[in-house]
Amino acid sequence: MKKILISSLFITILSCNNRADNKPSISDDLPVPDSVSSNRPPFIQPNTNAFNNRPDINEEREKERRAILYMSIDSTYFAINAIEDIKNDLVQVSSINLSVPERNLKSKALLKMNIIQNSLARQVDSTLLVNLKKHSNELAGINKSITGDIVHLKNLSLQLNRLTAIMGRLTDVLTMCVSRGLIKPPTPISKSPEEIKETLN
């Protein structure tokens, strides 16, 4: 009887082992990776700055930047020289022959032109540009106050009209510079436009 029980138990164990061998493994259920896909290189995000970093594009932008700065330098010295000419003419006008209103206008005009000239000699940023426009408008106001009674300063009125137009064009150029993030370099009265341009090379 004991032998029969042992034999039955042994047969049962063998039967269980056979069922376990026939059961699919977990690894059999997993998908087999495609050999082509597994060897595919990873996706690389294109460089959006590649176009902007092209040498020809950068060179073109540099040319444009340089042209604007050159224009600002030439326009500034043109205005500086125009102011200097008017100041020299005013100095030739003797205050002895001027009435009190004429003397006051002469002094105001000289003072305002000196302020503008000194501002132009400096590096022009957005703050200085605002002040420059303010002083230019005030100079135009001084010119308007030269009436028919101011006989000896008629030539000054004509010169200030011309200077007002020059300053209007200059402030437009400087505004374009500032709007593009460009700053006109210092332009000392004692220097020439060519000397300043060489410092930009």
pLDDT, one tens digit per residue, over 120-142 is 999 998 999 999 999 999 999 98
Mean pLDDT of the chain: 80
- Number of structural domains the chain divides into: 1
Q: Is residue 61 part of a domain?
A: no
Q: What is the CATH number of the domain that holds 136?
A: 1.20.1440
Query: Is the pLDDT reported for residue 168 higher than 90?
Result: yes
Mean pLDDT of 190-198: 95
102 against 75, higher pLDDT: 75
- Give pLDDT, residue 150: 73
Q: Is residue 62 part of a domain?
A: no
194 against 15, higher pLDDT: 194
What is the DSSP annotation of the chain?
-HHHHHHHHHHHHHHHHHHHHHSPPHHHHSPPPPHHHHTSPPP----TTTTTT-HHHHHHHHHHHHHHHHHHHHHHHHHHHHHHHHHHHHHHS-GGGS-HHHHHHHHHHHHHHHHHHHHHTS-B-HHHHHHHHHHHHHHHHHHHT--TT-GGGHHHHHHHHHHHHHHHHHHHHHHHHHHTT--BPP--TTS-HHHHHHTT-
- Give pLDDT, residue 180: 92
- Give pLDDT, residue 191: 94
Which structural domain range is residue 82 located in?
69-198
pLDDT band, very low/low/confident/very high, at 149 (cuts 50, 70, 90): low
**pLDDT by residue (tens digit) across 23-55?**
444 444 444 445 445 555 555 555 555 555 666
Mean pLDDT of 45-72: 76
pTM of the model: 0.70
- % of residues, the chain, pLDDT over 90: 47
Q: Is residue 118 part of a domain?
A: yes
- Give pLDDT, residue 24: 47
